[in-house]
Amino acid sequence: MTNKTELKLDHITVVARSLEEGASHIKALLDIDMPMGGSHPLMGTHNRLLSLGPDCFLELIAVDPFAKAPDRPRWFNLDHFNADPVLATWVVGSKDINASLTQAHCDSGSATHITRGNLSWLISIADDGTMPLNGAFPTLIEWPEGPHPASHMVDLGCRLHSLTIQHPKALEIEAAIMPKLNHKTILFKTGPKSIRAEITTPSGMRALW
C-alpha cells in the first residue's frame, strides 16, 4: 500500500432538513449545543461543526434556505432528504484523493472543489449527489497542507470513542477500507444500514445515530 492511498478518519456527518432540527437532535443525544460553521456556495448548503479532537470533527449539514439553488444536485443526497436527522455517513481523509478514488467504491464520484469562507478542499461527490452504499461506504476528502481544520473548531471536550458501520455489505466495506485505514475504533456489522457513534462528552459517554 502506498502513502497516496492511505486513509484517515476525518469526520462524521449528520444530515437534517434544517440546522435547527439537526441541532435539536444532537442536543438531545449528546447534550451539546452545536457551534455554527459556515456555508458552501457551490452546494447551497450550510453547516455546524464540533471538534472531536485536533484532526476529527462532527458535522451537521442541511440545505441553506437563503442560498441560491445550485446548478447541480446537492451533496449528501440532501435534495431528496425528508426525514428525521440522522448520522448519515463518515468521511476519510486522503493525501491524494484522485489516487484513493481509483480504489474506492464505483459510486464515489469524482473529486470536487468546495469552499467555505476562506477554506477550500477536495471531496468526492457523485454526479447525482447520492452517497456510495447510502453513506455506509465513506466519502473521501483531501485538505490543503497545514493544520487540520478541526484544530480551529470549537472544542467542547467531546471525543469519538467508536464508530459502528452497519450495512448488508459491511464485510465488503471493511475489506475495502480497513487495510488502508489505521483506526481500530471503527467496527462493522452486517444488517440494515445504520451508523452509530459513541462519543465521550462532558456529560459522559453518549451515542449518536
Using the predicted structure, report yes or no on whether residue 18 has a pLDDT greater than 70.
yes
Average pLDDT over all residues of the chain: 96
Domain-embedded: residue 40: yes
Domain-embedded: residue 182: no
Q: 120: exposed, middle or buried (C-beta count within 10 Å: 0-12, 13-18, 19+)?
A: exposed
Q: What is the mean pLDDT of residues 107-131?
A: 97
Domain-embedded: residue 14: yes
Domain-embedded: residue 208: no
pLDDT, tens digit, for every residue of 147-168? 999 999 999 999 999 999 999 9
Q: Which residues of 131-167 are buried (b: 16+ CB within 10 A; e: fewer)?
A: bbbebbbbbbbbbeeeebbbeebebeebebeebbbbb
Domain encompassing residue 102: 3-158
Which CATH number covers residue 56? Answer: 3.10.180.10
Task: Select the more confidently predicted residue: 138 or 3.
Answer: 138
Count of structural domains, the chain: 1
Q: In which region does residue 79 sit, left (phi positive, over 0), alpha (psi from -120 to 50) or beta (all else)?
A: alpha
Q: What is the mean pLDDT of residues 69-96?
A: 97
pLDDT of 5 reads 64
Domain-embedded: residue 173: no
Using the predicted structure, report yes or no on whether residue 9 has a pLDDT greater than 80.
yes
| Residue (of 47, 157, 128) closest to 91 by Cα position | 47
